[in-house]
Structure 1
Amino acid sequence: MTRRLSMDQAVGMLEGELASGLRSLDDLVTEDVWLAFLRFGRKSFDVSGAPDADGLLFQYGTYAFDSLPAFTLDLTRQFEISDSDGDHDHYVQVHCELRYGFAPALEALGSFDSWFFNDAGDDLEEWAQGLTVRAAWTTIHRLKPTEIRVYQEQV
């Protein structure tokens, strides 16, 4: 039987995947981060048996979080947390946020999001391949983000 990781280990596991390459975090390009996120997405965590309890989200767009618009790629893993009766209580999201700054070519990509759920019977590799054949991937996969931020939040 495969040992499932505690959700408390998720941020550390993602940070470990990002650091596992031969380059420092400051030298990573989008594709490096994406491959690390997919390795993280393949890890089994101890989640409830509820449908969609463990999901991956790929989303991007131009946002003005800090008052200046910046193109942002947000790679997120979402875990459902259940209460003592097994009912939904909240979600925990582990984000790997890549910011690129403002550029007209990036802004022209618009916004997009796609979910993958580990228990839905779909194939993670097919989902990932479907994202990397998008025209936006051609634009961003070799770009070096100006900032990479890993954090966890409760939603």
Structure 2
Amino acid sequence: MPRRLPIDQAQEWLRHELSPEQQPLAGLDVDEMWLRFVRFGSQRFDTANTPDADGLLCQYGTHAFDGPPAFTLDFARQFEINDASGEHDHYIQLHCELRYEPVLHLRALGHFESWFFHDTDEELDGWADGLGRHAFWTTVRNFHPTEVRVYQEQV
């Protein structure tokens, strides 16, 4: 079995994968960002031995969580954290969030989410390839994000 990294190294690993030579994230197009995120998703971390312990999420929609409305395309990775007795305590989520002006074409896409979990019958490459053929990419490629954020949160 390949070596699994500690979860506390995941954010650094994601930042390195997205920007190996400290290049500005804003210089990457959405396709390159997605490819790099999936590559990050293939690196396994030392997670709990539970069914949903390590998941990847692609989601989008128009939201106004912390300011004016923005169309947000969010690539996220979620790790389940258990307490000392092995019971669920919380999740850690790492986000690569692309924010766009909420123009009509993007708002018209509505909302979408698709999950992948390691250690299930589904393969990461199959999920990523299928999602890569989803119709929303054609619309999103026509716009440039106004902001790209990489951050971690506990949920």
How do residues 138-149 of structure 1 correspond to structure 2 at under 5 angstroms?
138-141=138-141, 143-149=143-149
- Cα distance, 1:38 vs structure 2: 0.4
- Alignment partner, residue 84 of structure 1: 84
Q: Report the more deviating stretch, 60-69 or 74-83.
A: 60-69
Counterpart residue number, 1:97: 97
Aligned positions, number: 155
Q: Tell me the alpha carbon deviations over residues 66-106 of structure 1, each in whole angstroms, 9 at most, x when there is no partner.
A: 33211101111000001111111111101111101121000
C-alpha deviation, 1:22, in angstroms = 9.6
Structure 2: 5+ residue stretches without partners: none
Q: Give the aligned CA root-mean-square deviation in angstroms.
A: 1.6
Q: Residue in 2 aligned with 1:51?
A: 51
The match for 2:29 is 29
CA drift at 1:126 = 1.1
Is it true that 1:122 corresponds to 2:92 in the alignment? Answer: no
Query: Normalized against structure 2, the TM-score is what?
Result: 0.94
- Match of 1:61, SS state, is strand
* Preserved contact between residue 74 and residue 95 of structure 1 (Cα < 8 Å): yes
| 1:142 to partner: Cα distance | 5.6
Residue in 2 aligned with 1:113? 113
Partner of 2:75: 75
Question: 4+ residue runs of structure 1 moved beyond 4 angstroms?
Answer: none
Paired letter, 1:137: W
Q: Quick check: 1:61–1:109 contact (8 Å CA) kept in 2?
A: yes
Once the two structures are overlaid, the 10-residue window that deviates more, 117-126 or 133-142, is: 133-142
Partner of 1:6: 6
Secondary structure (helix, strand or coil) at the match of 2:13 reads helix
Could you tell me the percent identity over the aligned residues? 56
In the TM superposition, what whole-angstrom CA distance separates every residue of 1:123-143 from its partner, at most 9, and x where no partner exists? 111111111211111111464
Q: Distance in 2 between matches of 1:153 and 1:22?
A: 22
Report the alpha carbon displacement of residue 145 of structure 1 after superposing the two structures with TM: 1.4
Matched to 2:25, the amino acid is L
AA matched with 1:147: E
Q: TM-score, normalised by structure 1?
A: 0.94
